[in-house]
Structure 1
Amino acid sequence: MDFKYMYGKQADQYSFIHIPKMLVTEKIFTGITIHAKVLYGLLLDRMGMAVKNKWVDERNRMYVVYPIQEIQKDMGVTRKKARECLTELENAGLIEKHFRGMGLPSIYYVKDFAVA
């Protein structure tokens, strides 16, 4: 492909997924795949939507709603891979999943690992 150069304000036209540097550089996170780290970045990005939609539980904890189908679409992965990434993040303690049932998507509490 022959991609075009960017000029002037064009360089500011994209939104970005932020993946905390610590997830990439700290030894404690070396066992987490890059796919799971990207998903964590996507979940962090969803926190903006959580604030806007007031997704807060009775204990004042923010959560995100991110249906598995949307994760698949956003990451370009299979359902199995999306679930594996979620499981990785859960096992690492970076997210906590709550199943809601009744056809509703699960909710995810995205944990702030940098706070001691």
Structure 2
Amino acid sequence: MINISEYLTTQTPLPPFLPYPRFLLELDLSQTAKMTYALLLDRATLSQKNLWIDERGFVFVIFTICSLAEQLGRSTVSVSSALKELDAAGLIERRRTRFSSPNHIFVKIPNVE
């Protein structure tokens, strides 16, 4: 259990957190899909730093469904559904790799107008 004991001050160090893009608030997606996207986007920043790119120069993430489910505290069925939602919304692309290897997940960023 987390012990909550301090008020936020100007000197309080922040705990680790996920970026949550504002555009997700406007989309008709499940909360699990939105949190999955935020987690994938966070992981994509690590992939950027490690230069995990494909032949097109696009950054990809490797994240198994089981690992996503564990991190999100959801079932693998819920995470699979969330990934399908994100794919249908055009926010991710999954590409198969070798047999029995996790897919490469490409996180897409919508055009902001």
Q: Is this a same-fold pair by TM over 0.5?
A: yes
Gaps of 5+ in 2: none
What residue number does 1:51 align with? 48
Spell out structure 1 runs of 4+ moving beyond 4 A. Answer: 6-10
Aligned CA RMSD, in angstroms, stands at 2.1
* Partner of residue 64 from structure 1, selected from 61, 78, 93: 61
Instruction: Measure how far apart 1:52 and its partner are.
Output: 2.5
- Report the 3-state secondary structure (helix = DSSP H, G, I; strand = E; otherwise coil) of the residue aligned with 2:12: helix
The Cα of 1:22 is off from its aligned counterpart by: 1.3
Deviations 1:83-104 (A, max 9, x none): 0000000000000001113221
2:24 maps to which residue?
23
Aligned residue pairs: how many? 112
User: In the aligned structure 1, how far is the partner of 2:11 from the partner of 2:62?
Assistant: 31
Matched, 1:102 2:103: no
Secondary structure of 1:36 counterpart: helix
Task: Indicate how the Cα distance of structure 1 residues 4 and 43 shifts in structure 2: closer, same or farther if over 3 A, else same.
Answer: same
What residue is the counterpart of 1:83 in the other structure?
80
SS at match of 2:105: strand
Share of identical aligned residues, percent?
31
Give CA deviations for 1:10-62 in whole Å, capped at 9, x if unaligned: 732411111111110x3xx1x21111011111011011221232110111111
TM-score (norm 2): 0.87
What is the SS of the residue equivalent to 2:36? helix
